[in-house]
Each structure stands twice: as C-alpha cells, then as structure tokens.
Amino acid sequence: MAVPERLKGIAPLQGELVTLPSVQELRPVNSFEEAYVAEIDIKLSNVVVKLLETNYPRNPELSLSHLRRLLRPEHLPEPLKRELEESQQRQGSPSKPAASIHVLIPPPLPEISEIQTLLAPYAPKTPIEADTTNPPPEPLQPIIRIQKTVISTKPPTTIAEAQEWSRTKWSTVYNPAARSAIHAPPQVQLIRAKASISPRAGYFLALAREVAGETLRSGRGRGVGAVIVDPELLTGKSDDTDELLNSVVAVAGDTRWWKASLEKHAEGATQEKKEPDADDEGGPESHAVMRGISMVSRKRIALNNPVTSEPESSTPSEVESAPLSPTSLESHFFQLPNLLKSSKGGYLCTALDLYVTHEPCICCSMGMLLSRFRSVTVLQSGMRRSGEGNSLDAVHGYGLHWREELNWRAIGFEFTESEVGGDKAGEEFNA
C-alpha cells in the first residue's frame, strides 16, 4: 500500500491528555541554612545594609528575594522575640525602649565577633535619664546583640508554608510568579500548550504507533515510534488529516537491531520473529527519539544549503546497511519541505513537539532537552512503572522534562487511552 493511502487510514487514538508532574511538585526539597540577626539603630538601617553587602557579599547562587531584610522587634518570629524578651529581663529594661530594628545576615557567615566589631557604631542608642548629682560615666563601647535563626534558601511553594516560616524562622514572602518557573510550568504556558496539543495528540500518537509497527515488522528494532511536529504550521488551520500531516517535520522508528537484521538477511534466514540478544542492540543513537532529532538536523542542513545538501535518495542496499536509513514512512516525511527556519533560537528543535510511543531513555531525554523541544507526549502504555532509571516519570525516576537544575525544560504529557486495543505495549525497556 502506498504511503499516502496508509496515512489516510490512520484513526486517531481516543483518550485524555494528562500533565506529567515535575519532581519539585512531588518531592519538594527545602534547603535551610543558619543565619544571623543583628539589632541596630533604626535610623541607620540603610547604612548598615550597604555596609553588610560590601563586606559580606551574598552567594550569587542563592536567590533570597523571598526573605525580608529588616524587621521591627514586634514583627520578629516568635522564637527570636521570646529570646529577645528574656535577654532584656536578665539585663534590666531601660526606662524607654531603644529605637531599634533587626537586620538579617544570610550565609556565608563570618565570626560573630567580627560582625559585632563592624556594627558597633550602629548599635541602638539607649536613652539615659538625666541625673545632676551623679554624672554618667564614660560611655562604654556598645555591644551588638546577635541572634541565630534558620532561613530557607528556596522560596515557599504555598502561602501556608510562607506563614509558617514567618512565624518560626524569619519573615518570608510568597510570590506565585517566582514559584511557577522553578517548580512547574507557568500556568499560562501550560494552558496554551495543552490547548494546542490535546485535540491532536491522539492522531500524532496513532501515527507514532504506525511508525513503530513498521519498524518492528522490518526487524530493524523494537516497536518504538517518534513523531516530531511543528505546532506553528497548525496555527489557524483546521484539524483535517492533510493539515495534520503537513505539520509533521519528521518521524523515526527504532533501529537498535539493524546490525542483527543485516546478519540475518545475509544468512538468508526466514522472517521468523526472534528477538536478538541484548548484546546485539545498538546504542542510544539508534533509538527513535535520537534518530528523529538527527532527521531534523539533516533537514536543517538541507534548508540552509539547498543546492549542495538536498535529501539523499538511498538505494535499497544503502537503506539496509545504514543505521539512519529511512523506512517508507520516515522517507516520506523527511522529503516534505515543511521545516521552517528557526526564528526562536539556534537550536535544532526549538518550539517543536515530540510524540513518542514509549518513555525515552535517559540519554534520549537529555537529547530532547538539549534540542529545545517545547513538549513531549508519551502513550501511557509506553510509560515504565518501575525502576529508578525512568527518565520522565517523576514518581519513580528522574522527571527530566522539568527539573530546576537543568537549563531547559519541556512540558511533559501522558496520553491515556480510553479504550486500549490488543496491541497495548507492556514491554519494559528504555525507548
């Protein structure tokens, strides 16, 4: 059957698109460090803050914008307020309260004696009642009162968490906008991506399953298929089959058994289904996702050098011998002149969407992030549910699609079929 006819017969999968949670959402890690609190003259607070920033620069890796720098005595957290009152009772209260304010000194921390020496000229002035009979003695060098507390080096994830930290540790501000970019996709970005992907995910995943089936039947690799789509080509377009197919930049299947299939073909073996040993498998460069990225790369070369780098037309022998040689479906989409010049950065797959039948391996997931995909959508039947090596599963694995440690993040989705057919994949392997 000709490729266009096969594509016309693909029926979209029916199901629901669910957002993959991030590691930060499921396993929030709070980082607390010790800090100092110094009592100073309220009139000199601005001078003291500048002095501290000059002598003790903050760690540039820590963003402490969620912490207040200055607090009046009445706004101190309960433990610090109680400690301050007990200290004043032991020393005897002055006739009038000192006009003081408390400044936070975050890590890295110097010696307490060093801070007391530096801030001594800025100690709060304690009023002394006039006594004409006994003139006051020479004033002693004031001592800066230093207290210890604990601060969070990461912003709070909820209002309740900010309130609890303010009550027990130090005054903390909750900023929803600051949280979203670190812990999970910003709501605006997530809503737009989901609205764009949800109506079409069933069709593109059905196409990925068709690519996987072609790969499996050829004996070149496992039944894994990947489809790469440019959502910009669908902007303002209808969701009929022709428009959906025209937005597909590349498709790729798995070829990890291509060497074994060559040997089998050379020996004139029958087409009996027999899975090669693990030692026969190729590396991640033979996986569907990495092959799809390579095809986008080759199309970009052809786009930038149309005269010298036109898509190659391989002979049958070359198709059988090269790891990146296309199948009929791969060749069809590779030859479509639908790859737009990148206007959003110089990376291979900036703003493109990836649909894959199985959860990619760790190497492929990192390749996906380095290529700057906008999103990745995986069939639920292809998500691994055990093992710590899961790449996208944030429950048991790494949740690489959205981790604050990485310099790029892709929105992750899982497509749950409402009625799973008989070809549901239950294999446990890295795709």
Hey, what are 192's tokens? 């737009």
Domain-by-domain residue ranges, the chain?
3-22+184-417, 32-125+143-179
Given the structure tokens 């400690």, which residue do they identify?
A: 83
State yes or no: pLDDT of 39 exceeds 60.
Answer: yes
The answer to whether the predicted template modeling score (pTM) of the entire model surpasses 0.75 is no
Name the pairing type of β-strands 32-41 and 146-152.
antiparallel
State yes or no: pLDDT of 405 exceeds 70.
Answer: yes
Given the structure tokens 């402490």, which residue do they identify?
A: 64
State yes or no: pLDDT of 424 exceeds 80.
Answer: no
Which parts of 157-271 fold into alpha helices (H)?
159-168, 176-183, 187-218, 241-246, 258-266
Q: Which residues of 83-111 are buried (b: 16+ CB within 10 A; e: fewer)?
A: bbeeeeeeeeeeeeeeebbbbbbbeeeee
Supply the mean pLDDT for the chain. Answer: 83
Q: Which residue has the higher pLDDT, 237 or 379?
A: 379
Strand order in the sheet with 100-105: 70-71, 100-105, 32-41, 146-152
Given the structure tokens 């990495």, which residue do they identify?
A: 290
Hey, what are 420's tokens? 């799973």
State yes or no: pLDDT of 136 exceeds 60.
Answer: no
| Residue-level pLDDT at 264 | 53
Confidence category of residue 58, pLDDT binned at 50, 70, 90: confident
Given the structure tokens 């990461």, which residue do they identify?
A: 154
Residue 423: other Cβ atoms inside 10 A: 10
268: region left, alpha or beta (phi > 0 left; psi from -120 to 50 alpha): left
| Residue-level pLDDT at 383 | 86
The share of the chain scoring above pLDDT 70, in percent, equals 77
State yes or no: pLDDT of 93 exceeds 60.
Answer: no
- Of the chain, the end-to-end C-alpha distance in Å amounts to 28
Q: Cis check for the bond before 108: say yes or no (omega within 30 of 0).
A: yes
| 275-333: pLDDT as tens digits | 555 556 778 899 999 999 999 999 988 877 765 444 444 433 333 334 456 889 999 99
| Residue-level pLDDT at 313 | 41
Residue 6 CA to residue 83 CA, distance in Å, equals: 77
Question: CATH topology for 3-22+184-417?
Answer: Cytidine Deaminase; domain 2 (3.40.140)
Main-chain dihedrals φ then ψ at residue 184, nearest 5 degrees? -160, 165
| Residue-level pLDDT at 303 | 77
State yes or no: pLDDT of 51 exceeds 50.
Answer: yes
